[in-house]
Chains A and B, each alone.
Chain A
Amino acid sequence: MALPPAPPQIPAFCTGFEQTTPAYFDGLVQLPLTFLAGQIVFRAHDTTSRSLSSSFSVIPFSTVDEDPYSGWNATSHQWLAPYTGWYSVTTTVSVATSAVQLRVGIGQSGTTLTEGSGALLSSATLGEGAAAAVLLLAGGIDFVNTQALTSSASTTDVSSAGRQPSLEITYYGQQ
């Protein structure tokens, strides 16, 4: 299967000579526009309940919904950015319990964590939910993952499609 296109260079249409092969124009027109329409995307969700503790842990998503650039590592539970650029990332995590602090963040290459909105709920009848989103610069060595913690032991809520953890990424543009 052919690899999806790379982020394009600005096409150089030269004068003074004739280039009439279809491949020439495919490279200058079709491939750049195909990339810009399709971008780089990744989506995953988790159908297995995971234990959370007071330290951030990586969510090992069980189901990859789409990953055309094959960036997902099912062992380390991280997505490798195939090309350097700006990526927009959203993630959600819900827990089955309440009365604990829930914090959700997006990790990058094991060194950076950007947290989203946290949740704290005193009601014992509703599990909490929290989400994070970040626009980050990532390159060919950068991994992206979802991390979460709860102030005391808890488990993620996967009881319905509407509560399952998710990680979604789209490429926004070049550096």
Chain B
Amino acid sequence: MARIELDEKEQKAIESSVMEIRKILKKRNADLTGIVGTVSLEKVKSTKDAIEVRFEEDVDLMVQMNMVAFD
């Protein structure tokens, strides 16, 4: 199994991928309020409407999408 060359910093950063993801989520918590604080109630309402439309399409028109990587 071929591996790619990592520099020292990257090699050091590699731990269990799952642990690493959890660490990133925790480390970045301080950013979250600033990110979602800019989302308006109108935007959430429009998402709520879009969700209903999409699931109706899924049921009525059978438009579930399988995206398979071929070749």
A binds B: no
Contacts from B to A (Cβ < 8 Å): none
